[in-house]
Amino acid sequence: MSKMDSKTPKGALSEKWTNHKSNINLVSPANKRLIDVIVVGTGLAGASASATLAELGYNVKAFCFQDSPRRAHSIAAQGGINAAKNYQGDGDSTYRLFYDTIKGGDYRSREGNVYRLAEVSANIIDQCVAQGVPFARDYGGLLDNRSFGGVLVSRTFYAKGQTGQQLLLGAYSAMNRQIGRGKIKMYNRHEMMDLVLVDGKARGIITRNLINGKLERHGAHAVVIASGGYGNAFFLSTNAMGSNVTAAWKIHKKGAHFANPCFTQIHPTCIPVSGDHQSKLTLMSESLRNDGRIWVPKNIEDVKAIREGGLRPTEIDEENRDYYLERRYPAFGNLVPRDVASRAAKERCDAGYGVNKTGQAVYLDFSSAIQRYGREEAHVKGLDEEDKLLVNNLGKQIVKSKYGNLFQMYEKIVDQNPYETPMMIYPAVHYTMGGVWVDYNLMTSIPGCYAIGEANFSDHGANRLGASALMQGLADGYFILPYTIGDYLSADIRTGKISTETPEFVLAEEAVRVKLAKFIHNKGEHSVDYYHKKLGKIMWNKCGMSRNEKGLKEAISEIKSLRKNFYKSIKVPGKVDEFNEELAKAVRVADFLELGELFAKDALERTESCGGHFREEFQTPEGEALRDDNFFNFVSAWENNGSPSESTLRKEMLYYEEIEVKTRSYK
């Protein structure tokens, strides 16, 4: 088994990226005009990459399955984006952001990549402000910051609870400028169906026009996958309904290794499931943990009374509440990293202290924050700090200005007023740290095929810190890929246009056509959702917040037989050559059914606990994750050999030169 080479440049950590940029090959402006690049996906990574590549002079073809590039799911990111600006003067630095990210990822990410990410982070904020992104500001007119989990500084820039929206619209505007100039050709409502390789290099894709169902061939000198994560393998997640793994999975099947699929983030603060009709879950931003305190009742009698409707949470005295995060982790309190907070919620609910009718919820309470802000405001305005009603009202106004849209969203969904009664929350699948394996240049194991943003595995190790996904997406798209791709494309300046009439394209298109026709002609009985929900249940119960050998083995065999049944009994109405959402969904679920098995296999093989991957067999007496650095200090890169059960593990060893690998502690 040969080891994977990350191609991380030599030299001191802080100089790697600068030196690398100075030494890689460039493509001249005149030659860039001769080169085509395909970008699949228009979230933060895809939109920013498309805009920058086009601006540099490449001819870009960008694809999204939505009706506009502005709708990609980055738009739903709420809380913020990290950057080591140290505007607050609280001791932040590139090194500290780098260190926090490596530690937050439970020492399972690559030093060189993470340092580069921290290094370019500050520039992202400059870029976005110049583009007119309306970040929150203080009364002096300067940018405001807040804190996120797993760190002790305030480095998160935000635009109320809509930071992702504002950043994506910024990248979308940069794209629009290039579309207007004719440098980007945008294909809305198009789905990538396969990657086309010519002489072992990525040279194009097959797409399906979702309006009329027509298959199309697109050639290019390089293909960039920016199609996001695979959280929807769980059916219920905070991802958008259309978010899927298909583009990433297709390149995996064509030779791109898939890394750490079991590293999945279960976000602690989501609105609990309300019933079987549920189609998706809604996140409540981690920023709420700046001011919200998480608790469950201390006494089991109170829990019962609440579930039966005889007691309201506001009627429980302070001394009868268990602020379990503050109790277990005094140093970080409610701002522990996501994996820690999620597991702690599960621990309390499993022990029988969960609230809500289902017993699967904990409280997120703003009453202390409302009091604190209210008194502060009364003091500033010279009003009576002892006037309870006044303080309460003033406090609510401040909380509203910070989190208004999130509170409104909660009220719409749950039909309870979170200003008056604590929110109920429970963990839900949110983000996938795993993804397509890439080297330092963000190139996959297929020459000329790149993966950026959530679609790759690169920067977050086994657990991502809050407000780091937006940072990584934009870092990859604006500042990293546009440089590194030139190194590869410099060999392509004489290649000329890629013809789509070659046998490789013809065969790839034909294979897609056959596959689609099979779905339509199958005389089955179950809808796509039937299978997707079944897969989701297996994933959540056996590959969710905690995993064990027995459950994972069961998951593998259950997913296998579900997949078999899927191809036998799937029912897809309508025709291929028309707008047919069921068909589009069938293609995506088919890929989830393969990915799910590889996910379970990866989780089974990794006999240690780290970050979001918690194996019950490997924990400390206090119930914390127990890593095994002697055996598992590597990235698991899975090589496709036809089916997930035949996939072979290839390791990329992780080397820590700069920081000492320690047991993560937030106590």
Partner 1 sequence: MNLTLKIWRQSNSESKGKMVKYNISEISPDMSFLEMMDALNNQLIKKGDDPVAFDHDCREGICGMCSMFIDGEAHGPDRLTTTCQLHMRKFKDGQTITIEPFRANAFPVIKDLVVDRSAFDRVQQAGGFISINTSGNTQDANSIPIEKDDADRAFDAATCIGCGACVASCKNASAMLFVSAKVSQYSLLPQGKVEATDRVRNMVKQMDQEGFGNCTNTGACEVECPKGISLENIARMNREYLSTLLKS
Residue 172 interacts with partner 1 (CB under 8 A): yes or no = yes
Applying CB under 8 A, among 37, 262, 306, 409 the residue interacting with partner 1 is 409
Provide the mask over 105-124, with x wherever binding to partner 1 is found by CB under 8 A and - wherever it is not.
---------------x--xx
Question: Which residue in this structure is represented by tokens 């540099």?
Answer: 56
Least distance CB 144 / partner 1 (angstroms): 9
SS3 617: coil
By beta-carbon proximity to partner 1, the closer residue of 315 and 578 is 578
Of residues 11 and 574, the one with the C-beta less far from partner 1: 574
Q: Is 576 in the site for partner 1 (CB under 8 A)?
A: no
**Site residues for partner 1, window 516-555 (CB under 8 A)?**
527, 529
Per CB under 8 A, which region of 147-155, 164-172, 245-253, 600-608 contacts partner 1?
164-172
Taking the C-alpha atoms of residue 181 and residue 177, their distance in angstroms, rounded to an integer, is 6
90 binds partner 1 per the rule CB under 8 A: no
Interface residue with partner 1, options 46, 242, 261, 337 (CB under 8 A): 242
- d(CA 664, CA 662) in angstroms, rounded, equals 6
Q: Is 129 in the site for partner 1 (CB under 8 A)?
A: yes
Binds partner 1 by CB under 8 A, chosen from 57, 88, 95, 143: 143
What contacts 156, CB < 8 A, 6 or more positions away? Answer: 79, 80, 81, 82, 145, 146, 147, 148, 287, 466, 467
347 binds partner 1 (CB under 8 A): no
Torsions phi, psi for 459 (to 5 deg):
-110, -10
Residue type, 550: K
Q: Which of 40, 125, 256, 438 binds partner 1 (CB under 8 A)?
A: 125
Residues 60-79 within binding reach of partner 1 (CB under 8 A): 66-73, 75-76
Residue 139 C-beta: closest distance to partner 1, Å: 5
Residue nearer to partner 1 on the CB measure, 401 or 641: 401
Nearer to partner 1, 70 or 203 (CB): 70
Binding mask 303-342 for partner 1 (x = CB under 8 A): ----------------------------------------
Going 128 to 133 to 138 to 141, the CA torsion angle's sign is positive
Backbone φ and ψ of 340, nearest 5°? -65, -45
Separation between Cα atoms, residue 185 and residue 59, nearest integer Å: 8
The sheet carrying 264-270 orders its strands as 264-270, 423-432, 362-365, 293-297, 321-322
**DSSP code string of 325-367:** HHHH-TTTGGGS-HHHHHHHHHHHHHTT---STTS--EEEE-H
Shortest distance (Å) from residue 602 CB to partner 1: 28
Of the candidates 1, 22, 91, 130, which one interacts with partner 1 according to CB under 8 A?
Answer: 130
Instruction: Work out the number of other CB atoms within 10 angstroms of the CB of residue 420.
Output: 12
Which one of residues 14, 57, 177, 623 is an interface residue with partner 1 (CB under 8 A)?
177
Q: What distance in Å separates the CA atoms of residue 344 and residue 623, rounded to the nearest whole number?
A: 9
Of the candidate residues 103, 155, 160, 289, the single one contacting partner 1 (CB under 8 A)? 160
Residue 185 engages partner 1 in binding (rule: CB under 8 A): no
**DSSP states along 132-201:** T----B-TTSSBP-B--TT-SS--EE-STT-HHHHHHHHHHHHHHHHHHTTSEEEE-SEEEEEEEEETTE
C-alpha–C-alpha distance, residues 472 and 436, integer Å: 15
Q: Does 236 bind partner 1 (CB under 8 A)?
A: no
Residues of this chain, 22-61, that bind partner 1 according to CB under 8 A: 48, 51-52, 55
- Least Cβ distance, residue 76 to partner 1 (angstroms): 5
CB of 63 to partner 1, least distance (A): 14
The CB-of-479 to partner 1 minimum distance in angstroms stands at: 6
Strands 36-40 and 59-63: parallel
The Cα 421–Cα 564 span in angstroms is 47
AA identity, residue 138: D
Nearer to partner 1, 132 or 330 (CB): 132
| Residue 169 vs 206, nearer CB to partner 1 | 169
Is 412 near partner 1 (CB under 8 A)? yes
Which residue in the set 29, 89, 91, 141 belongs to the binding site for partner 1 (CB under 8 A)? 141
**Which of 82, 94, 113, 127 is in the footprint of partner 1 by CB under 8 A?**
127
CB crowding 154-175: b at 16 or more within 10 Å, else e: bbbbbbbbbbbbbbbbbbbebb
- 44, 256, 283, 489: residue in contact with partner 1 (rule CB under 8 A): 283
- To partner 1, the closest distance from the beta carbon of 43 in angstroms equals 11
Give the range of 214-222, 381-389, 410-418, 652-660 binding partner 1 by CB under 8 A: 410-418
Are the C-beta atoms of 346 and 275 separated by less than 8 Å? Answer: no
Closest Cα partner for 253 from 514, 602, 504, 595? Answer: 595
In the complex with partner 1, which residue's Cβ is closer, 159 or 369? 159
**In the set 42, 94, 101, 188, which binds partner 1 (CB under 8 A)?**
188
- Beta-bridged to residue 636, according to DSSP, are 651
Give me Rg for the CA atoms of the chain.
25
Q: Contacts with partner 1 in 582-621 (CB under 8 A)?
A: 582
Is 663 among the residues that bind partner 1 (CB under 8 A)?
no
Q: Tell me the number of residues near partner 1 by CB under 8 A.
A: 80
Q: Tokens 């088994």: give the residue.
A: 1
Among 1, 30, 142, 380, the residue binding partner 1 under the rule CB under 8 A is 142
Q: Which of residues 434-473 bind partner 1 (CB under 8 A)?
A: none
493 is a site residue for partner 1 (CB under 8 A)? no
